[in-house]
Amino acid sequence: MSRDGDRGTATATVHNRGSMVAAMVRLSLLQEDGARVLPTLYDDNYLWLLPGETHTVTLSWPASALPSGRPKLRAKGYNTPPVTGAAEQHSQEWGSRHTLRS
């Protein structure tokens, strides 16, 4: 996770380890209590992932919308159960790798 002026930014990697297409995978940035961080901008969302496919998404949000500075990311698809993970700090970049099984 990093900060660009008054906005927080992060990248997330989503991977489909299932044997079927993961349809309409929607990412949501969450606060520690599970509330959505709004507004969050995603450079891509509602993803279609083939089996074995990985996709990286960049997110940004007003820094004031996430006062704890410890986001979670939820990935939920039409045919996949929701997966929520805590962010991990990797130098200047927030890396959150979510695995979906379809």
C-alpha to C-alpha distances, 95 to 23, 79, 87, 88, 91, nearest whole angstrom: 22, 24, 7, 6, 10
CATH placement of domain 2-100: 2.60.40.10
- The pTM (predicted TM-score) of the whole model is 0.81
pLDDT of residue 85: 87
Domain boundaries, the chain: 2-100
Would you say residue 102 has pLDDT above 50?
A: no
pLDDT tens digit string along 45-76?
A: 999 999 999 999 999 999 999 988 888 999 99
pLDDT of residue 49: 94
Q: How far apart are CA 6 and CA 9, in angstroms?
A: 10
Q: What token pair was written down for 38?
A: 């709004």
Proportion of the chain above pLDDT 90, given as a percent = 59
Q: What token pair was written down for 10?
A: 């992060």
> Are the CB atoms for 64 and 6 separated by under 8 Å?
yes
Q: Give the start-end residues of each E strand in the chain.
A: 2-4, 7-16, 22-30, 41-42, 47-49, 54-62, 72-77, 80-86, 88-90, 93-100
Q: How far apart are CA 78 and CA 75, in angstroms?
A: 10
